[in-house]
Amino acid sequence: MDLQPDLLTATLGIVVIRLDDDLTVTEVHGEIDDLAPGHDIRETMPVLYGLEEALAGPDVDIAMPLIQTGRNNDEPVSLHIRRDPETGGLWLFRRDVSEESAIHRQLVQNHNSLSLAQAELVKARDAAREADRTKTAFLANVSHELRTPLHVIIGGASILSKTGERRPDPSEVVEYATDIHESGILLLQLVDDLIDLSRSETGDLTLYEESCDLCTIVAGIVSLCRDLPEARGTRIDSDIPDERVGLTGDARRLKQVLLNLISNALKAVNGLAEAKVTVTVDPDGPRLIVADNGAGMTAEDLAIARQPFGQPRAAVRAKGAGLGLAIVHRLVALHGGDLVIETAPNEGLTAIVTFDPARARPAS
């Protein structure tokens, strides 16, 4: 190798360093801080640690085009190490590549920033598409749930309005009037649920908080549910502490949570078995547990049931738009609580509402 280190240094600004096989510096051509003959090159250029084996070979030719060095990684250099075939010595060529690296940096920075931004845009687009699909499905479900009772009302009213020979007899009048009344209540319930759901989505569902007693709430709602027509044949038990279980919350909304959970349990057991409501006070906070020994459901069906209008495929098709559980979930969250559902096919379902212990307080 006809190497002229001083010429390379003078014309191209390349620092040329000659090394022993143990990586000790023997010659330095050009200016470089903290390096002189006798030094271990790795102390100044730690990039060479780990390369000892590769540098021990007979045909060393290692190029590292862009290494950031210096205390703040702000001194871009290219390194090239070759073995002189004639003398067997190692030569290291160090070149300042500040200018090239500045251009390279700009290109890489722009490319990476654009790619990351593009990935975010794709995510946002997919989320918007999903939201649009959900909205369309939601509207279709609302339309469907509105049409059924409306058809009953319109059809019933039409029959009741007939005169003369086509006028319904008194027993039919009662039947049609009852259907119209029940459908009206169903519609009102649906509209109320939709308003609750909408307000919870927009953050406008406000709690009117007060000091409540969970035991009183449970006792009242369980008593009410026992009188419901759909509870016929189903035993509804309750297990509540003798002492009051105080909770800061919205009593009306807590009753709604419990009513929805018991209502779901009644649909699940379908008048054939039993449901039980329990109140406990655990270190994690007050708990409200509603369990049934009905058909239960798969994890997949449970995920569907948690969604607004979700109707699990395997579940018994019952009255209701499938909004109850979604509303319960939101109301519990508004109370700083957590809703956990444990279920499996043919093993019933247990809904466990755990309230934030900070909300527990002596009931007044």
Partner 1 sequence: MKTYKIVVLGDFGVGKTSLIRRYVLDEFSEAYRATIGVHIYKHLDSLEGDDLEVSLVVWDIEGAPLPGEQTRRYIVGASGAVIVGDLTRDDPFPAMWQAADMFEEALPGRPLCLALNKSDIASVKSPETVKRMARRYDCSVFETSARTGDAVNTMFRALARSILSLGL
Which residues of this protein are in contact with partner 1, per CB under 8 A? Answer: 42, 46-47, 49-54, 62-69, 73, 76, 101, 104-105, 108-109, 112-113, 115-116, 119, 123
Q: Is 150 helix (H, G, I), strand (E, B) or coil?
A: helix
Distance CA 214, CA 247 (A): 7
| Token code pair at residue 277 | 């409501």
Nearest-approach distance from CB 52 to partner 1, in angstroms: 7
Chain length of the chain: 364
Nearer to partner 1, 63 or 272 (CB): 63
Q: What DSSP line would sit under 160-184, residue for residue? A: HT--GGGSPPHHHHHHHHHHHHHHH
Q: What DSSP line would sit under 24-76, residue for residue? A: BEEEEES--TT--TTSBHHHH-GGGTT-HHHHTSSS-EEEEEEEEETTTT-EE
Nearer to partner 1, 63 or 185 (CB): 63
Nearer to partner 1, 42 or 306 (CB): 42
Q: How far is CA 234 from CA 259, 265, 347, in A?
A: 15, 10, 17
Nearest-approach distance from CB 39 to partner 1, in angstroms: 15
Nearest-approach distance from CB 118 to partner 1, in angstroms: 12
Nearer to partner 1, 115 or 206 (CB): 115
Distance CA 102, CA 317 (A): 67
Nearer to partner 1, 14 or 254 (CB): 14
Nearest-approach distance from CB 321 to partner 1, in angstroms: 31
Residue that has been written with the tokens 């035993």 in this structure: 235
| Token code pair at residue 89 | 């010595």
Contact present, 294 and 354 (Cβ < 8 Å): no
Nearer to partner 1, 55 or 328 (CB): 55
Cβ-proximal residues to 188 (8 Å cutoff; 6+ apart), any chain: none
Nearest-approach distance from CB 54 to partner 1, in angstroms: 5
Residues facing 18 on adjacent strands: 27, 91
Nearer to partner 1, 1 or 119 (CB): 119
Nearest-approach distance from CB 33 to partner 1, in angstroms: 16
Nearest-approach distance from CB 109 to partner 1, in angstroms: 4
Nearest-approach distance from CB 73 to partner 1, in angstroms: 4
Nearer to partner 1, 112 or 223 (CB): 112
β-pairing, 274-282 vs 235-239, is: parallel
Nearest-approach distance from CB 22 to partner 1, in angstroms: 14
DSSP 21: T
Cβ-proximal residues to 70 (8 Å cutoff; 6+ apart), any chain: none
Q: How far is CA 173 from CA 17, 31, 156, in A?
A: 108, 108, 9
| Token code pair at residue 48 | 């060479």
Nearer to partner 1, 3 or 51 (CB): 51
